[in-house]
Amino acid sequence: MVEQTLRYRNDEPVNDPAVTVATFADQSNATAVRIEPGEDARALLPHLDRLALVEVNFPTYGDGRGYSAARILREHGYAGELRAVGDVLIDQLSHMRRCGFDSFAPEQPIAAEAAEKAFATWPDVYQKTVDGRPAIWAKRHPA
Amino acid sequence: MYQYDSYDQSMVDARVAEFRDQVQRRLAGEITEDQFKPLRLKNGLYLQLHAYMLRVAVPYGTLSSRQMRLLGDIADKYDRGYGHFTTRQNIQYNWIKLEDAPDILADLASVEMHAIQTSGNCIRNTTSDQFAGAAADELVDPRPYAELLRQWSTFHPEFDYLPRKFKIAMIGSETDRAAMKLHDIGIQLVKNDAGEIGCKFYVGGGMGRTPMIAPVIGDFVPPLQMISYLEACLRVYNRYGRRDNKYKARIKILVHEIGADEYRRQVEEEFAHILTLGLEPPAAELERIKGFFEQPGFDANASDDLDLSDPDFALWVDQNTHAHKQTGYTIVNISLKPTGGIPGDASADQIRLMADLALEYSFDELRVTHAQNIVLPHVKKSDLYTIWQKLDEAGLANANLDLISDIIACPGLDYCALANARSIPVAQKISERFADLGRQRELGELKLKISGCINACGHHHAGHIGILGVDRKGVENYQLSFGGSEGADTSLGTITGPGFNEDGVVDAVEKATDVYLAQRTEGERFLDTYRRIGMAPFKEAIYAKETANG
């Protein structure tokens, strides 16, 4: 069981256990799923409306597939909780947030104040992603 | 050239502050070396054999005199009085103290420079044609597009933990001076029949232990969709590139294993989706950036006349300058390959002198080349003699551009923790063996490249003559190859046969050049003769005498 979850959402946490991607499609009452690095986030796209929690596992911090998985889900309109679990370290939090994660269950606990500091690392961003922050180019050329 | 606005500046300043905090946590023992390693690598700081090495990014190889001067000052202040220009148009310092690294980054930030993403499994510094904006044969100036790419790739949140490092090169001429097809992505700016600009994407090239020439994946991507296309290329790679084996993790292996057609299909599918997201910077942003790269104020009356009565000067002009698009101007190549020297090294004083020359004679601009030399891109021909004299006084006027002693070499076992063999002494011995400039010019264009291990940082696969240092039962051994090339006619070298010791490989190179001289026909370079007559005559000469000598 995860010891700590840093959560940046206002709705009630989902307590359903996350099932695997392979079993999710067959369990019509499941609302939480867990994506492993080799699994295709697009397999979940037909079921986004019944999902309340997606966990994306990072077995090691260096395996960056979960960043793409998160962005793909958000780009297709997933609005539920998107939780990074596993080898989630302070120095990756900022990028994860930019890719759409809004909760974090790190193996090694991270202090909430340290996390806030990490999110504030960059005053601006060069890319438009899914976190709603305007890219620097957008600020340079306001519509 | 490009100048930071307050957004750009605050991004590098934020990075300095972040890294200062990380170094403090490391020095205080709050994080382990294992945890610190990926953080320092994101800032170009490697732990090498003897000390930390700091690699500073030179975006698309372009520097102002103020930046160049600071690079010289850093060499004095924090290193041992010299810096090493690399095959990726960057500069490395080999003797850095960890506790100094944040101050160096702060110094760099004061002249709009950084070491962001110069290592790690992320998008590295984009390289380009060192003659960009100056060459007579240029179709489109690639620098504004490269700057757009620099900003997009900086702190990209999705692509910071790719399967492996990722190198992009960008050119805008038919002549490829950036080894574009040997990069993870090579982008060539082209024009169609209607005169519109497009990006031709080559994806999946690379050197390393499995060298591959990149196939064309995107024929003609509109410039205002370039970033979206890159997102698609990178996303497919991030999701499906191999992570089970670091030696098979580069994008070239993915493209090779699934095939260029299947990779293209996946990219096109992703591209169609990404185009709906509005990720592309607007035309106004590209125009804003282009404003920084307008042609400098050339003297329209400058003359092409040149007094070549000094024979040494005439030789240097013939060998080390390149046609400029503006009448009365030329492109100067400053060789960092003195006889017996370390390829790419320059002293702090030499670096500052080059900065001064750029300020006075080249519209405040310099370029670093992937062949580890420096370029003054916009020199008035009437200033050439003065420049040459000043370079000569500083030991920087070797007239050997593209000749056999203009060697590319990695740092090798003298510095690098990955190396199996030393590269520098081999380069020095070859340079000394062929010290006579007349002899070198007789041999003509001959690109010799040396790597001290299979990772191929010295580009040996792309050398007309390539040398690869390996470790054979604890002894340094050098494999020789012929026939590589990195230009429009990109090809990979073929190994001659059994390897040699350090002196043996120098002898073998000399024997190969003898074969060339004996066999060449009018106008043929070493590479051309090799391609025509094949390996056999070279092999015979190299190995027959070896046996005879016992």
What would the pLDDT profile of B183-193 be if each residue is shown by its tens digit? 999 999 999 99
What's the domain range around A66? 6-140
Task: Indicate the helix (H) or strand (E) that contains B334.
Answer: strand B329-334
Q: Is A94 within a domain? A: yes
Nearest by CB to B238, which of A64, A75, A123? Answer: A64
Count: domains in chain A? 1
Could you give the angle at the alpha carbon of B468 between the alpha carbons of B477 and B320, nearest 5°?
130
Position A124 in a domain: yes
Set of chain B residues whose Cβ sits within 8 Å of the Cβ of A37? 243
Residue of A nearest to B285 (CA): A137
Alpha-helical segments (H) within chain A: 21-24, 65-75, 93-98, 112-119, 136-140
Between chains, do A140 and B121 touch, taking CB under 8 Å as contact? Answer: no
Contact criterion met (CB below 8 Å) for A54 and A44: yes
Residue A1 resides in a domain = no
| Arithmetic mean of pLDDT over chain A | 93
Question: What's the pLDDT score for residue A1?
Answer: 43
pLDDT tens-place string over residues B308-361: 999 999 999 999 999 999 999 999 999 999 999 999 999 999 999 999 999 999
CATH number at A80 reads: 3.40.50
Q: For A128, which residue in chain B has the nearest alpha carbon?
A: B279
| Model confidence band, residue B487 (pLDDT cutoffs 50, 70, 90) | confident
Range name among A72-81, B38-47, B107-116, B426-435 with the lowest pLDDT average = B38-47
Smallest CA–CA separation between A124 and chain B, in Å? 7
Read off the pLDDT of each residue in B475-491 and give the average, rounded to a whole number: 93
Q: Whole-prediction pTM value?
A: 0.95
Mean pLDDT of B147-175: 97
Closest CA to B77 of B354, B351, B334: B351
CB contact under 8 A, B38 and A96: no
* CB-CB under 8 Å, A124 with B151: no
The pLDDT value given to residue A3: 64
Q: What is the pLDDT of residues B348-395, one digit of tens each?
A: 999 999 999 999 999 999 999 999 999 999 999 999 999 999 999 999
Residue A37 lies in a domain: yes
- Is A71 in contact with B158 (Cβ distance < 8 A)? yes
* Helix, strand, or coil (residue B31): coil
**Cβ pair B238:A68 closer than 8 A:** yes
In a domain, A44, yes or no: yes
A8 interfaces chain B, CB cutoff of 8 Å: no
Could you tell me the pLDDT band of residue B546, with boundaries at 50, 70 and 90? Answer: very low
- The chain-wide mean pLDDT, for chain B, equals 96
Residue A87 belongs to some domain of the structure? yes
Q: Which of B194, B191, B177 is nearest to B136 (CA)?
A: B177
Domains in chain B with CATH codes = 6-109 (3.90.480.20), 127-290 (3.30.413.10), 408-548 (3.30.413.10)
Chain B residues with a Cβ under 8 Å from any Cβ in chain A: 5, 7-8, 10-11, 14, 18, 22, 35, 38-39, 121, 151-152, 154-162, 235, 238-239, 243, 273, 277-279, 281-282, 284-285, 288
Q: Which long-range contacts (CB under 8 A, 24 or more apart) does B154-157 make?
A: B154/A126, B154/B11, B154/B116, B154/B117, B155/A95, B155/A122, B155/A125, B155/A126, B155/B11, B155/B116, B156/A126, B156/A127, B156/B122, B156/B123, B157/A67, B157/A94, B157/A95, B157/A96, B157/A98, B157/A99, B157/A125, B157/A127, B157/A129
Cα separation, B491 vs B45, whole angstroms: 33
